[in-house]
């Protein structure tokens, strides 16, 4: 299954929680914006920008 299909198989409320719970090295816990869904080695990965400072952030969806 590709990363986008795995992501969409997660219930919408859980996806929203995951998007709002990403770690930024500058801000701490933040929301990821302008993200893409990529296939990681073991699980999908969201890669995007911190909503607060604009730095690159990522989250593994396990």
Cα separation, 17 vs 2, in Å, equals 21
Of the candidates 23, 19, 21, the residue with the CA atom closest to the CA atom of residue 35: 19
DSSP letters of 13-46? HHHHHHHT-EEETTTEEE-EEEEEEEE-SSSEEE
- Please state the pTM of the whole predicted model: 0.90
Q: How confident is the model at residue 1 (pLDDT cuts 50, 70, 90)?
A: low
Domain positions in the chain are: 3-60
Per-residue model confidence as pLDDT tens digits over 14-56 = 999 999 999 999 999 999 999 999 999 999 999 999 999 999 9
- Tokens 């890669």, residue? 47
């Amino acid at each position: 299954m590709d990363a986008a299909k795995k992501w969409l198989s997660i219930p919408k409320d859980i996806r929203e929680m995951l998007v709002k719970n990403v770690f930024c090295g500058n801000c701490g816990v933040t929301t990821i914006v302008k993200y893409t869904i990529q296939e990681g080695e073991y699980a999908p990965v969201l890669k995007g920008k911190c909503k607060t400072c604009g730095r690159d952030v990522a989250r593994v969806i396990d």
